[in-house]
Amino acid sequence: MFLRCTKRKKNGKEHRYWSIVENKRGAGDKIVQRHVLYLGEINDRQEAAWQKSIEVFEQGQPLPRTVALFPAERALEAEAAEHIVRVKLSELQLRRPRQWGACWLACHLYQELGLDRFWAERLPPSRKGTRWDLILQTLCAYRLIDPGSEWRLHREWFERSAMSDLLGADFAELAEAHKLYECHDLLLQHKTALFAHLTQRWRDLFNAKFDVLLYDLTSTYFESDPPFPAGDKRKHGYSRDKRPDCVQVVIALIVTPEGFPLAYEVMAGNTSDKATLKTFLEKIEKQYGKAQRIWVMDRGIPTEEILEQMRRSDPPVLYLVGTPKGRLSELEEKLTALPWHQAREGVEVKLLPESGEVYVFAQSRDRVHKERAMRRRQMHWLRDRLQELMRLQPKRAALLMKLGAAKQQAPAAWRLFAVRVPDGRKRKHQETDTPEPAQEFSFALRWDKLRETRRREGRYLLRCNLPERPPAQLWEFYLQLVQVEQAFKHLKGDLGLRPIYHQDPARIEAHLFIAFLAYCLHVTLGRRLRDLAPGLTPRVVLEKLGALQMIDVHLPTTDGREVILTRYTQPEPDQRLLLEKLKLKLPEQPPPKITAAQVKGN
């Protein structure tokens, strides 16, 4: 290891920033450098102290050369003593503990989906022998297990993981910083082929069906300031992350009710929800052909024009969508006259044929209780907060700020209260001799709005062109939209979709592509857990198996050599139970290695 200095001029002054860098020897005696520690700006005395520490640490480090323990060319009649290695147990050492279990599971899922073969065909080695397919596998495993930046993978995570042991390649081949970034440039052209491959694998593994498609959108934001180059998709728009101050991109996703993604698209951050559906209908039809599919969407995504086109298509494109609350007001009189029908336990529906469609007015007892409890909790909090403000009597400017914060905290309950604030304008002339009483801060419950809200809690108006489907099935289809929201939750939570550190537009999309690859591993594990170990989540399994470590056992020999046993730790009872439930079998322990005798200089 050695110190590296980076110089930078700032405000006309030169600054020197120091890092500790390690040389690592890879295949073919190639040397690559790994950043070990960032020191920042240090003075000459601190630099000398660090240099001395590094020299002491490096002194006497062996450079082992791996040889065969039992060479194939050795004659069978060789002396028995040549086959005996005498070790010094008193000098046994344990080195390089690293995370193995979760890495092995990620590689197992990767191979189960056939991604190793898929990418080996499409990402051949470079002229210098760079294995882009293995680098991508490392990036996917990293995103699934412990997501972070590529720089963190290069600097910290790879050395703490057993990816080198599992993939049979070293740090120089898999974790060199430039290769990690350059790998992003090779991926996007294979996106269509990838999803075609994955749909077939999920059919083979789980008999997955793709006749019901759930469609929704989300956004992810960036802490970066425009302007950006022409064609950049980072724009200001409606933020689902509550960050309207940041630029963003919009992500549209299609998944099945089991959570398997069929396709996704990255669009400009100012894209309207209504402008996305037509493109996706054409994309799915072009890639997978015309078929009897049911599109399930929330309100606000399809326009009347698109729905009309879907009905007139040959064959018709089937859909089930939510409707805005305004449409419920228009049809409320007709719906009131219809009787309720029991769809299933706790769910009642009314069916209203209208202009070639069927409106489904559904009422769920469980949803009524849930939404009513949520509304009451917000109302109680807001009432107590408004009463507190009446007691405090803050000045008008401070009062407006506190009311704005309360509205943001309880937006649903705010619509049920009428709030009056003091008038801040001073009257120049009094029209009468009697002065008007000063307006004070007050609030009152809007009973008409409360009664209307109570009537609509737990009730949903859906529209579809599926007249022959039973109402209970239509209700189940709509409830499955939660799978799309769950996919977005996993992407932004477990898989660390953001923060996104890239600045190049193509690499931003490639970053999202790798996140979706990791989600494919995640949803595959979740689907297997649903059958074999219900109740467990993929994150729990990864953390549980992540406790399995790999370690190098070094045994010095009497003839100056060293036997190296690379071993993963034996699973504990709870880990064995989990492996048994998932029908997973751990691989054999790696074969031992032995170093050649070290030649001491005179």
| Nearest partner of 578 among 63, 77, 105, judged by Cα | 105
- In the DSSP assignment, the letter for residue 60 is T
Q: Dihedrals φ, ψ of 585, to 5°?
A: -120, 125
Degrees (nearest 5) of the Cα angle 395, 399, 403?
175
Sequence-separated (6 or more) residues with CB below 8 Å from residue 535: none
- List the structure tokens of 313: 């298509």
| Nearest partner of 110 among 130, 138, 82, judged by Cα | 138
AA letter at 278: K
- In the DSSP assignment, the letter for residue 159 is G
| 277, 306 contact by CB (below 8 A) | yes
Q: What is the pLDDT at residue 83?
A: 52
505-532 helix and 482-492 helix, angle to the nearest 10 degrees? 120
Q: What is the pLDDT at residue 403?
A: 93
Distance CA 17, CA 471 (A): 67
- In the DSSP assignment, the letter for residue 87 is B
Q: What is the 3-state secondary structure (H, E, C) of 168-214?
A: CCCHHHHCCHHHHHHHHHHCHHHHHHHHHHHHHHHHHHHCCCCCEEE
Sequence-separated (6 or more) residues with CB below 8 Å from residue 225: 247
In sequence order, the β-bridge partners of residue 318 are: 294
**Residue boundaries of the structural domains of the chain:** 2-61, 325-421+440-469
Q: Dihedrals φ, ψ of 354, to 5°?
A: -160, 115
Q: Dihedrals φ, ψ of 87, to 5°?
A: -110, 155
The pTM is what? 0.80
Distance CA 20, CA 2 (A): 6
191-206 helix and 277-288 helix, angle to the nearest 10 degrees? 70
132-145 helix and 505-532 helix, angle to the nearest 10 degrees? 60
Distance CA 155, CA 38 (A): 10
**pLDDT mean values, one per 10 residues, the chain (602 residues):** 77 76 73 71 70 49 40 39 67 90 96 96 92 96 95 93 93 92 95 94 92 91 85 90 90 92 92 87 83 86 88 86 82 86 84 86 88 93 93 89 92 92 64 56 92 87 85 84 89 90 92 96 93 88 94 86 88 88 91 70 43
Distance CA 390, CA 409 (A): 18
| 141, 106 contact by CB (below 8 A) | yes
Q: What is the pLDDT at residue 343?
A: 79
Sequence-separated (6 or more) residues with CB below 8 Å from residue 467: 353, 358
- List the structure tokens of 7: 């110089």
- 138 class by beta-carbon count within 10 Å (0-12 exposed, 13-18 middle, 19+ buried): buried
